[in-house]
Amino acid sequence: MTGPQNPDVPADRARSRTPLPEERGTDPDAEEILLESEQRIAGALDGREPADDAEERRRSEETL
């Protein structure tokens, strides 16, 4: 079963939250950034996405 707002997030996981004031900063897109971060974490936990963005962009010689 999936959550109602994001079909990629199982219903037993916490729903998205609003950013704290210190997370919000001066950027009006703070909620979008937080949502993207939560989706990346959910994807990493499910094994669908790399655990960090560096793994997506790392050159092959750096991984040896």
Give pLDDT tens digits along the chain (64 positions). Answer: 443 466 666 666 666 677 777 776 666 677 788 888 888 888 878 777 665 666 666 666 655 5
Amino acid (1-letter code) at residue 8: D
**Would you state the pLDDT for residue 31?**
79
The model's pTM: 0.38
What per-residue confidence (pLDDT) applies to 1? 40
Name the residue with tokens 């939560």: 38
Give the helix/strand (H/E) hosting 24: helix 21-24
**CA–CA distance, 59 with 9 (Å, rounded to integer):** 30
